[in-house]
Structure 1
Amino acid sequence: MAWWFGWSMQEIYGLPLDEFAGWLDEANRQIRQKYLKD
């Protein structure tokens, strides 16, 4: 799901676990709302 926000895998690996969890929750929320990436 890194592509969803335009992040590289290295940026994700550098995140603290709590920040990653928050980012993942937000990505899932947007996907559930059928948010379309332009």
Structure 2
Amino acid sequence: MRPPGRRRPQCARSFPRGQANRGMPRKIRVSRPQSRET
């Protein structure tokens, strides 16, 4: 079985640190234009 304790904390720590810049640029770019359009 896969250990969910190692992947969950790593994801949570890497999201605000590096993953936010790797996989969130799309959401951040969409969030900025959406904020201005609304």
TM-score normalised according to structure 1 size = 0.40
Structure whose residues are more often helix by fraction: 2
Greater relative contact order structure (CA < 8 Å, 6+ sep): 1
TM-score normalised according to structure 2 size = 0.40
Larger Rg: 2
